[in-house]
Structure 1
Amino acid sequence: MTDWEAIAECELFAQPVNDSDKDPQVIEIHYNSVVDTSEYLPQRVLIEVSSRSLMEPTEKREINSILSVNFSNLDFATDAYSIPTVLPQRTFLEKIFLLHEEFSQEPEKIRIDRLSRHLYDLERLMDTHHGVTALQNKELYNNIVAHREKFNPLRGLDYANHTPDKIKIIPPDTVIKEYESDYSEMTKFMIYGEALTFDRLVKRVSELQTRINEISQP
């Protein structure tokens, strides 16, 4: 099957919106998987088109599929190509703020589905060069908070509470069991090899929260 034949078998949908100014707009690309699938990991790619995303900092990175890297001599293999990507430091801080905002809401408003992956990502990044330098970069920290408040604010949320000493990234008791269940499902289908137990993950992210809370104020 050629690349174009494979693409022709995919289905493309634009998620319906009631407000034409909704941002981001989401496009779904549905594909036929050659491996076992699950409800947790649907056979689709989501593309979010936004005019309000923070543009910096980014860098050019080469990407390719796992199959092409490991089977580069076969017909279906494709060449790597370069695209602008968000720096891990920014991703690290964005995930911190996303969880803090989520857990600052009333319990009935806290989302569960597929959000435990952010806890996993934070644990994986926290001791790397990217995680350490992100917490040292006060300018980037403040720029991301200001951008979220201006362009993607949550109703009723006080962004003055995004200072390091007030950051909360541990699921509250009211939802922690649901997060544990979500994490269990996520590790079955998205993680290669061994994964931390949920209790160990929470302990590690608690260490990160303490690290953030102890940052000196700007």
Structure 2
Amino acid sequence: MYDLIKQPKKELEILFRNAAGKIGLHEAIVEKDFWVCLTLDYLFHSCKWKEAFTFKGGTSLSKCYGLIKRFSEDIDLILDWRVLGYGMNEPWEQRSNTKQDAFNKEANTKAEKFLADELLSAFREDMGRIIGEEAKFYILSEDPQTVCFQYPKIFENNNTLQIIRLEIGALAAWTPSVSKVITPYVAQAYNRIFSKPNTIIRTASAERTFWEKVTILHHEANRPENLAMPVRYSRHYYDLYCIGNSQIKKSAFCNIDLLKRVTDFKMKFYPRKWAHYELAVPGTLRLIPPEYRFAELRKDYIGMANMMFGDYPDFDSLMLFIGELEKEINLLR
């Protein structure tokens, strides 16, 4: 991958355009996907803190497991909280609600300071050396746990956010995790021109991500009417649809204890009384939101269409499947 960025800009433009034509995606998406994969390779093989990261989220479902056909703009990373000075089990110690809230705020503040004081400069220096020019990294002012990489783009696309967002949080569970191979789209199209067409990274297990998505939908099903649903949250319904139509559903169903681990984690580190995580168990779990949310969710899903490729369900089919999945989970024992 690193050899490719040394090629003349015109040759890269032709390569990305031809690869996009073979795959059926916009050139800007193929280009950004290449930079996402190169960034992941750096993070897990060259970065000083390479052992402290675990990949998770929607991009992992696409790149590591091939479970979804949705191009994600973000790299979600779990940062091992030991980097911040905590012991392996220290965050799990019993505390009062007040003290746990104080601990959570302290951990987030420490993570933000680590990103600003150490990680950002390392990213700039390392990636600048790799690409042979200034590497533009910055922290989002509205989200100090998100580092943005303004990669040197060739193509323009109004439908694609042409920066890579690295959302890095320490208050996240990094187990169970597995090693997976990822390959950029351009290498899938022209494998033989790469001396190293792929890379191996550590990522959260698909079963854990399944239950994470389930609890997100349960959270949304309980969202109070006066609180708006976040923009582009329909992606979680689509992601769960895709995982639920794979073999991962069966293996996740065989590991119902993992659902409890996910909900225990959220109740301790991301408590919201109205989310009713204590009810996210077989028998009382909810995936379908109230009917008054459907119009908003449908509009959000239609607006997300430009980020999906290949076949994907219409909104009614999507929600029908989610409703059946809710019934299946509630029958588990």
- Shorter-chain TM range is 0.7 to 0.9
The alignment status of 1:11 with 2:136, answered yes or no, reads yes
Q: 2:298 aligns with which of 180, 184, 189?
A: 180
- Please give the TM-score of this superposition, normalised by the length of structure 2: 0.57
Name the amino acid aligned to 2:280. Answer: H
Aligned to 1:26: 146
Q: Deviations over 1:163-208 (max 9, x none)?
A: 2222221232222111111111212x22222221111111111110
Q: CA deviation at 1:31?
A: 3.4
Q: 1:102 aligns with which of 213, 220, 235?
A: 220
Which moves more between the two structures, 66-75 or 30-39?
A: 30-39
Alpha-carbon spacing, 1:34–1:114, altered in 2? closer, same or farther (3 Å)? farther
Name the amino acid aligned to 1:13. Answer: Y
Name the amino acid aligned to 2:185. Answer: I
Alpha-carbon spacing, 1:78–1:29, altered in 2? closer, same or farther (3 Å)? farther
Q: Deviations over 1:36-76 (max 9, x none)?
A: 5235x31122212222110111111111211122123447x
Name the amino acid aligned to 1:37. Answer: N
Name the amino acid aligned to 2:184. Answer: S
Please tell me whether Structure 1 or Structure 2 has the larger radius of gyration of its CA atoms: 2
Distance between the aligned counterparts of 2:148 and 2:132, measured in 1? Answer: 13
Q: 1:196 aligns with which of 279, 294, 313?
A: 313
Alpha-carbon spacing, 1:109–1:7, altered in 2? closer, same or farther (3 Å)? farther
Alpha-carbon spacing, 1:155–1:27, altered in 2? closer, same or farther (3 Å)? farther
The alignment status of 1:49 with 2:174, answered yes or no, reads no
Aligned to 1:38: 158
Distance between the aligned counterparts of 2:286 and 2:133, measured in 1? Answer: 45
Flag structure 2 segments of 5+ consecutive residues without an equivalent. 8-128
Task: State the superposition RMSD in angstroms.
Answer: 2.5
- Please give the TM-score of this superposition, normalised by the length of structure 1: 0.84
Look up the SS of the partner of 2:149 in the other structure. strand
Matched-pair contact (CA < 8 Å) for 1:171–1:179: no
Q: More helix by proportion, 1 or 2?
A: 2
Name the amino acid aligned to 1:121. Answer: D
Aligned to 1:206: 323
Alpha-carbon spacing, 1:60–1:157, altered in 2? closer, same or farther (3 Å)? same
Q: 1:2 aligns with which of 2, 6, 30?
A: 6
Matched-pair contact (CA < 8 Å) for 1:64–1:78: no
Alpha-carbon spacing, 1:8–1:111, altered in 2? closer, same or farther (3 Å)? farther
Distance between the aligned counterparts of 1:185 and 1:8, measured in 2? Answer: 36
Aligned-pair identity in percent equals 23
Distance between the aligned counterparts of 2:193 and 2:150, measured in 1? Answer: 24
Distance between the aligned counterparts of 2:308 and 2:192, measured in 1? Answer: 27
Flag structure 1 segments of 5+ consecutive residues without an equivalent. none
Distance between the aligned counterparts of 2:264 and 2:132, measured in 1? Answer: 40
Matched-pair contact (CA < 8 Å) for 1:32–1:43: no
Matched-pair contact (CA < 8 Å) for 2:243–2:249: yes
Aligned to 1:152: 270
Distance between the aligned counterparts of 1:101 and 1:27, measured in 2? Answer: 26
Distance between the aligned counterparts of 1:9 and 1:200, measured in 2? Answer: 47
Aligned to 2:115: none
Q: CA deviation at 1:152?
A: 1.8
Alpha-carbon spacing, 1:98–1:81, altered in 2? closer, same or farther (3 Å)? same
Alpha-carbon spacing, 1:154–1:86, altered in 2? closer, same or farther (3 Å)? same
How many residues are treated as equivalent by the alignment?
208
Matched-pair contact (CA < 8 Å) for 2:263–2:277: yes
Name the amino acid aligned to 2:168. Answer: V
Distance between the aligned counterparts of 1:7 and 1:123, measured in 2? Answer: 42
Alpha-carbon spacing, 1:27–1:183, altered in 2? closer, same or farther (3 Å)? same
Distance between the aligned counterparts of 2:133 and 2:295, measured in 1? Answer: 42
Matched-pair contact (CA < 8 Å) for 1:103–1:110: no
Name the amino acid aligned to 1:210. Answer: K
Matched-pair contact (CA < 8 Å) for 1:30–1:43: yes
